Amino acid sequence: MEQNNDDKLPVNPIEAQGLLIKAVYKKFGGEVLSIIKNVCRKQGQSLGLKVKKKLPKNNLTSVAKAFSKSFDQNFVKIISISDERFQIQGTKCPFGLENTSRELCEAVMAIDHEYFREAVSDKIELKILKTVAEGDPYCDTVYEIKK
């Protein structure tokens, strides 16, 4: 028996979280974005604190390398890593946010932003240059230490 897209089972917890986020956003629209962002920030803070305790160095390079181990190399490539800047591009959203909205992407990306803020520095800035959530062919994100 084939499943349609609405009945497709998630293959991991991140996809399941994405299904929940998309369902809540679909039902409540923009008014729920602040709630999604707040919960995602807390998730990122928690993950960032954990990685900070595990790594001997907490510069952007070492945290970015640890972070890079968590994503599928078939869909994400590292453009640059240094102590000042980390840039990645990906063709698939792990949360399945393709063709939803930039605003939803920005709310969910609070996870990664807070991860780096907690693990490296509160001076980390996240720039989402492109996003598949808005219909771009790939995501392009940059984490930089603000000067």
pLDDT digits (tens, 9 = 90+) for 2-40: 444 567 899 999 999 999 999 999 999 999 999 999 999
Local structure of 6: helix, strand or coil: helix
Residue 70: per-residue pLDDT: 84
- The residue type at 119: A
Residue 2: per-residue pLDDT: 47
Task: Give the tokens for residue 92.
Answer: 């698939």
Second CATH level (architecture) for the domain 13-145? 2-Layer Sandwich (3.30)
CA 63 to chain centre: 15
Q: Let me know: does 119 contact 51? Beta carbons within 8 Å.
A: yes
Q: Let me know: does 140 contact 87? Beta carbons within 8 Å.
A: yes
| pLDDT one digit per residue (tens) for the chain, 147 residues | 444 456 789 999 999 999 999 999 999 999 999 999 999 999 999 999 999 999 999 999 999 999 998 888 889 999 999 999 999 999 999 999 999 999 999 999 999 999 999 999 999 999 999 999 999 999 999 999 998
Q: How far apart are CA 96 and CA 35, in angstroms?
A: 19
- The domains of the chain are located at 13-145
Q: How far apart are CA 28 and CA 141, in angstroms?
A: 27
Q: Let me know: does 133 contact 98? Beta carbons within 8 Å.
A: yes
Give the other-Cβ count within 10 Å of 74's Cβ.
9
Residue 7: per-residue pLDDT: 75
Q: In what order do the strands lie in the sheet with 124-130?
A: 76-81, 85-90, 139-145, 124-130
